[in-house]
């Protein structure tokens, strides 16, 4: 059996009165992430980790922010498309470990729903998806609530 690991990172600007979608869950908050798709920073970091592990470039290569097909689209669809790309090369997902960095809102109550969404999109157990969150201790653009950051690592398997 062959295994690989991948690392993903994503960042999005936060804007007032904009939807805030994280892990396929719409959070109640006065600010939300802004981007070409639904700007789901967590799913974008996971997609990048998976694509990188499979040596398939990155999310921007496959889902360009200049392509109207992806405008406003749910990032759960991008994750499903990423899984199809991996499957074409014979890869399956072993596990995902992700970290969100934002000041507000609190993420912990939403983690089970995020795990369910991600597990359904990938076809793995929620037990194989770890999501954590931290603040930036009110420092920098994250601390000022100007942006949100996500990091993800994954393990993929073949054979």
Q: Is 60 part of any known ligand binding site?
A: yes
Does 11 carry a binding-site annotation? yes
Measured distance CA(47)–CA(141) in Å, rounded:
23
Quickly count: other Cβ atoms within 10 Å of residue 13's Cβ: 15
| Residue 59 assigned to a binding site | yes
36 belongs to an annotated ligand binding site = yes
143 is in an annotated binding site: no
The answer to whether 159 is annotated as binding is: no
Is 97 annotated to bind ligand? no
Is residue 62 a known part of a binding site?
no
Residue 2 CB neighbour total at 10 angstroms? 9
Query: Could you give the strand order of the β-sheet that contains 147-158, starting from the edge strand earlier in sequence?
Result: 31-34, 2-16, 147-158, 91-101, 129-134
* 126 known ligand binder: no
Residue ranges of the annotated binding site are 10-12, 36-37, 44, 58-60, 63-67, 134-137, 141, 144
Residue ranges of the annotated binding site for a divalent metal cation are 10, 12, 44
């Amino acid at each position: 059996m062959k295994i690989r690991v991948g690392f993903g990172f994503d960042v999005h600007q936060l804007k007032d009165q904009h939807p805030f979608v994280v892990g396929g869950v719409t959070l109640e908050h006065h600010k939300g992430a802004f981007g070409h798709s639904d700007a789901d920073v967590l799913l974008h970091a996971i997609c990048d980790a998976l694509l990188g592990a499979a040596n398939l470039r990155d999310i921007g290569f496959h889902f360009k922010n200049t392509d109207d097909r992806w405008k406003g689209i749910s990032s759960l669809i991008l994750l499903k498309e990423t899984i199809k790309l991996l499957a074409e090369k014979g890869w399956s997902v072993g596990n995902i470990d992700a970290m969100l960095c934002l000041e507000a809102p609190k993420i912990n109550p939403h983690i089970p729903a995020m795990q369910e969404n991600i597990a359904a999109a990938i076809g793995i157990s929620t037990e194989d998806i770890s999501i954590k969150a931290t603040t930036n201790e009110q420092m920098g653009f994250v601390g000022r609530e100007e942006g949100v950051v996500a990091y993800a690592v994954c393990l993929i398997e073949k054979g």
